[in-house]
Each structure stands twice: as structure tokens, then as C-alpha cells.
Amino acid sequence: MVLRASPFPNGFVAGIHAIGWALIVPCFWYLDRVIAVCKSTTKEIRERQETECYLHPLKVFFGSIFFFIFFLLTAPLAFLGFLLWAPLQACRRPFSYHRVEPTSAERETNRGFEQTGKATFTFASANLCLLPDSLARFNNLGHTQQRAYEIGKRIAESVVRPNVIITVESPSSCGPVSPSDSIIPRACSDTDGGLEGPSQPTGDHRSDPTESSASSDDAEEALTEPSSSQLNYNENSNKQGQSDRKSPAVLFSQRTRQQDEEPWEVSPFFPANIDILCLEEVFDKRAAKKLSNALKPLFGHILHDVGVYACQPPCRCSAFKFFNSGLFMASRFPVLEAQYHWFPNSRGEDALAAKGLLSTKVLIGQNQKQKKVVGYFNCTHLHAPEGEGKIRCDQLDMVTRWIGEFQAAHKQPDEEVVFDVLCGDFNFDNCSPDDVLEQNHSLFEEYRDPCRAEAGKEKPWVIGTLLEQPSLYEEDVNSPEMLQRTLVTEEVRKQYISPPVPKQGVPLVYPEPGQPWIGRRIDYILYRETSISKLCRTELEEVTFISQLAGLTDHIPVGLKLKVSLNSDYDDE
């Protein structure tokens, strides 16, 4: 099955919808500016103080009047556009699909199973807070369109960089230390810090890295590139070089990882060669287009504008959706099936957006017996307000049920399922007393969370993913390298990562004596092994906390790398 690009059944309906939306946009934009001109970020306030600019009150006064007048002038046109736009939502498919034809078949397939019976898959998830500019400013984030462009550029820089695997013998440890594939140089940049021109990915990059790696010539070229080279600052850094706070970290791990400890790191880059990328809070349509333009040369299959609009059943005013779900998925693999469900139990400001679950089935390639190999990828964004765990638990019930129904409806007997991943912003963590209800949900019995020790307790190396909004532009966290340094130092990061939320009326005693301080981790990538082929074995390769979007969002993106192989019984089947 090939997904249709347009969310509408035919071009005529799509055209009427475009006209209606074009009439709405000017009024919406002026309203957005009325609010945005009155709300400053801490970065803008500091810049005005440094330049001793005292004209801001006049800018706010005259700017708000100017934009409000034009808001009133365009309101009649917006009302006419609304009359065209709203009824058409009943026949709109809840997502748009963008596909770029690959230059070669290998660009969108994984040949690992066909050649060796093994393959590695890399996933990443990030909440970008790409709301309309006025609303984003309440999260201390402004300039939504500029941020969208910069985020797309930074992700593209990471994804196209060489995948170099390095193993070194540490003289201070009893075994080899293997930095991840992000320990490679950054691409050359211009004076503004941007890429001079992102290179295009070539060939099949997803074969098992233990079976094949970059050539020695490529590695030598990468490691000798002048001035712009950077090494990852691993989680167990011995912090040497800390005295130069302006310099990027060039450190290897010096502590021996425990035998039962998952491989993890804090990286200033997104993982190289991400296979599927899930983004949350991409609510703004223009921002989504900028992201698509930046990512479509790298990810041939993009689902955006995911969600429903206008009045939804049971057709109450509280069920009117002003915003879509904010979900955005970019995949290297063809999307065979896709389905979206919205949560009907949202309340308050969350009810204005069509938050829900996006479930997809992607085509990976073939195995050695020429049998189709597929994977399931699901992304969601749960209810946000604190203290409303019952709503989130109900939404997790829906997520579990909808995923099961989707996989049962689209499962084929001639397919091998090699991964089943669920990711997104769950808006609860595994250390806050206020989130006990969600922490004990049965979802975590089905899906494995590599960062979770047990309900209510994180593994000691977890750092948290929610940044404190007032301090987003402080020197310690305003660049990928500085945020990376901060995250690996417990005493420093506790100043910038949101702490656990106490139960109402109960004082918080945290952390317990002898335990590390861990902030709120509300961004998850989970995987399930019970729903994949019985012939497959899944091995966790790496968990990554990513600092590359420092200053562009109030979340820390996360990455997950899985190695999947067919067991020895495969040939005897």
C-alpha cells in the first residue's frame, strides 16, 4: 500500500481548504503578534539590559495597538475562511505524507538481514516546543520560525556525518572503552556557525557495525580534520579539561562500565544515521514545513500535520481542536501503514490540541529467505498538567489498546517483525512522588524502558530530560558543548534540570541518602520484544542524551540504538 500525499480525497477539496486557510492566516498572525510583542524571553530582557535600550515600552505600546487594529480588519475575512475550513475537517485524513523518491533502492532499505541476518536501528525523540511564537514565549522560547530552521539544520548536520566506530584501550581500566559513533568531528561551519553545505548520505549505512565499519581512509580523514573536530563527552568523564569552560570536551571515558550497566552517553550530536525520528510539539505549520525542507533530503518519508481540527465527536465546544497533535515523524524506511487516534479525555489548555497516538508500520527490507521485514513505530504526547495522573493513565490504556488493534489489523503472515518501538513526551517521570500512578502502569510490563530500574526508581546514570525554563539561556546551558558539560556533572546539572514533583501536601525528601540526584525524565523511547518475530533477538546498543538543541527547546532529546539479529534456529526453520 502506498500512502496518499494529500490528506484530502481529491484536489478540489484540497483547493477549497487551502483558500479557507489562506483567509484565516493573516488574522491569526496578527493575533499572534499582539501577544508576542508584549511577552519577552529572558534572553531578550538580558540583551536589552546590556545595550541599555529603554524604548521597549514604546515598542510594546504602539506595536500591540498596530497589530490589534490589523487583527480587527482581517477578522471578517478570517470568519469567511473559517466557514470554508471547518466543515472540510470531517473528510480530512489526520496526517499529511511527504515522500522523496530515493536515488537508489538501498537508500530506504536495510540490507543487513538479507546479507548477514543482523542489523542496527537508531531512533531519536525530541520535544521542540514549536508553538505559535506568542505561546512559545510562555515557555521562555521565542522566534519559532528561526528556531525551526536552526533545529532542522542541526539535526541534518548530525545525521549526515560519517559513522566512524572507534575502540580504544584505556590504560586506567581493565577493559576496552568504546566511544559511540558520535565521537567524530563536526562538519565545517561558516562564521555564523552554520553548515557550508550538508553532505548527502550515500549507500547503505545500517548494516551491523560489528560486522563492518568505516574504511581506514575515511576514518583518517575524519580524525585529522583541523580545528572543528570534537569528541563526545561521555557519561563517565574524569572531567579533565574542565578549566577551559569555553572549549568543547575532548575526553574519553576513564571509568569501567559495570557488567550489567546499559551503554549510555551524553552527546552534543544526534546519533549518526538515525533511521526514524519522532518530534513532538511541532504545532506551527510553517515551522513544520521548515523542518520538512531540512530533513527530506535525509529522510525520504515524513508524516506531518498529524491530528484533527475543528469540532470533534461528541461535538461539544470543549472538543474543538485549534491545534493538531504536534507529532512529526521522519523515516528512512517506506511507511506501509499509518493510523492516528486522538485522546478524547484531555482537559484545560491541553484540550485545545489534538494530542494522541500515531502508529506506523515501516518496510525495512528482506531477510535471507526473501521474506518481507517490517517494524512498528509509535509516537505519542500525553496530557501535560501536573497532578492529573488519572488522565495520563487512561491515555496509556488507550495507547496500549490502539497499538494492539493497529498491529492486529495490519499483521501479515509472510512478514518478519524486527522492532516495536513506542516513544514520545509522556509528561510524567519515574522519580516524582506525584507520578506514582503512571509509574505503575501495566504499559511498562509490555514495553522495556532502558532507563528504568523499577517503578519509581531510575537507574543511577539517568540525568533527566526537562530543563528549567527560566535558565535556558544561562552560560552553562546555552550551547551544545556547555550543556553537555553541565549534564555530566551532578552538582551543576541539578541547577538546570527540573527536580521531581512532590505529592501535594507532602514535603519532598530527595534524593535518598547515598543515591544520585536525578531530574525529571519525561521523554521516553521504549521497545517491546514480545511482539516481534520469535526468530529475532534484540540487544540494546546505546542510550543517548543529546545536548545539540541547547537554547532551542526546553527538553533534552533522547536516542536509542537497537541491534537485532536472527538466532541460530533461523536456518533450521
Strand-strand pairing, 276-282 and 328-331? antiparallel
One-letter amino acid at 515 equals Q
Q: Are 310 and 352 in contact (CB under 8 A)?
A: no
Q: Are 483 and 550 in contact (CB under 8 A)?
A: yes
| Model pLDDT, residue 50 | 83
CA–chain centroid gap for 397, Å, is 22
Q: Are 372 and 366 in contact (CB under 8 A)?
A: yes
Lowest average pLDDT, out of 235-244, 463-472, 502-511, goes to: 235-244
E strands present in 69-220: 96-99, 118-130, 168-169, 176-177
| Model pLDDT, residue 242 | 41
Asked whether the predicted pLDDT for residue 478 surpasses 90, the reply is: yes
Enumerate residues 6+ apart whose C-beta is below 8 A from 406: 337, 339, 359, 361, 376
Cα–Cα nearest to 548, from 306, 166, 270: 270
Q: How many whole angstroms separate alpha carbon 571 and alpha carbon 117? A: 10
- For the chain, counts of helices (H) and of strands (E): 13, 19
Model confidence pLDDT, tens digit, residues 546-567: 999 999 999 999 999 999 997 6
Which residue bears the cell 517491546?
Answer: 528
Confidence of residue 569 (pLDDT cuts 50, 70, 90): low
In degrees, rounded to 5, the angle at the alpha carbon of residue 243 between the alpha carbons of residues 175 and 272 is 50
One-letter amino acid at 150 equals E
Lowest average pLDDT, out of 222-231, 264-273, 469-478, goes to: 222-231
Strand-strand pairing, 118-130 and 276-282? parallel
Confidence of residue 406 (pLDDT cuts 50, 70, 90): very high
Secondary structure letter of residue 439 according to DSSP: H
Average pLDDT over residues 320-334: 95
**Mind telling me the catalytic residues?**
555
Rounded to two decimals, the pTM is 0.83
DSSP β-bridge partners for residue 366: 372
Cα–Cα nearest to 375, from 572, 116, 557, 110: 110
Q: Identify the helix (H) or strand (E) that includes residue 103.
A: none
| Model pLDDT, residue 518 | 93
* Helical ranges in 52-142 per DSSP H: 56-88, 112-115, 133-136
Asked whether the predicted pLDDT for residue 207 surpasses 50, the reply is: no
**3-state DSSP assignment of residue 412:** coil
Asked whether the predicted pLDDT for residue 299 surpasses 70, the reply is: yes
Lowest average pLDDT, out of 1-5, 17-21, 194-198, 252-256, goes to: 252-256
CA–chain centroid gap for 421, Å, is 13
Cell of 37: 510583542
Q: How many whole angstroms separate alpha carbon 311 and alpha carbon 309? A: 7
Tell me: domain 97-161+261-566, CATH 3.60.10.10, correct?
yes
Asked whether the predicted pLDDT for residue 408 surpasses 80, the reply is: yes
Q: Are 360 and 278 in contact (CB under 8 A)?
A: no
Average pLDDT, the chain: 83
Asked whether the predicted pLDDT for residue 535 surpasses 90, the reply is: no
Model confidence pLDDT, tens digit, residues 435-464: 999 999 999 999 999 999 999 999 999 999
Enumerate residues 6+ apart whose C-beta is below 8 A from 292: 98, 302, 304
**3-state DSSP assignment of residue 373:** strand
Average pLDDT over residues 53-59: 85
One-letter amino acid at 238 equals N
Q: How many whole angstroms separate alpha carbon 540 and alpha carbon 445? A: 17
Q: How many whole angstroms separate alpha carbon 148 and alpha carbon 141? A: 12
In total, the chain counts a number of residues equal to 573
Confidence of residue 101 (pLDDT cuts 50, 70, 90): confident
| In the chain, domain spans | 11-82, 97-161+261-566
Asked whether the predicted pLDDT for residue 359 surpasses 50, the reply is: yes
| Model pLDDT, residue 210 | 39
Q: Are 415 and 531 in contact (CB under 8 A)?
A: no
Which residue bears the cell 502506498?
Answer: 2
Q: Identify the helix (H) or strand (E) that includes residue 13.
A: helix 11-36
Give the HSE-up count for residue 509: Cα atoms under 13 Å, Cβ half-sphere. Answer: 3
| Model pLDDT, residue 107 | 60
Confidence of residue 293 (pLDDT cuts 50, 70, 90): very high
Q: How many whole angstroms separate alpha carbon 197 and alpha carbon 66? A: 40
Enumerate residues 6+ apart whose C-beta is below 8 A from 187: 157, 160, 161, 195, 196, 198, 199, 228
**3-state DSSP assignment of residue 314:** coil
Q: Identify the helix (H) or strand (E) that includes residue 417.
A: strand 415-425
If one compares 33 and 226, the residue with the highest pLDDT of the two is 33
Secondary structure letter of residue 467 according to DSSP: B
Asked whether the predicted pLDDT for residue 484 surpasses 60, the reply is: yes
| Model pLDDT, residue 165 | 55
Query: Which stretch, 28-37, 42-51, 361-370, has highest mean pLDDT?
Result: 28-37
CA separation, residue 67 to residues 198, 399, 457 (Å): 38, 42, 50
**3-state DSSP assignment of residue 116:** coil
Question: What per-residue string of b and e applies to 241-252 under the rule 16 or more CB within 10 Å gives b?
Answer: eeeeeeebbebb
Q: How many whole angstroms separate alpha carbon 16 and alpha carbon 22? A: 10
Cell of 11: 484536489
Which residue bears the cell 552554520?
Answer: 194
DSSP β-bridge partners for residue 329: 278, 303
| Model pLDDT, residue 191 | 36
Confidence of residue 28 (pLDDT cuts 50, 70, 90): very high
Cα–Cα nearest to 554, from 518, 519, 526, 525: 519
Confidence of residue 505 (pLDDT cuts 50, 70, 90): confident
Asked whether the predicted pLDDT for residue 183 surpasses 90, the reply is: no
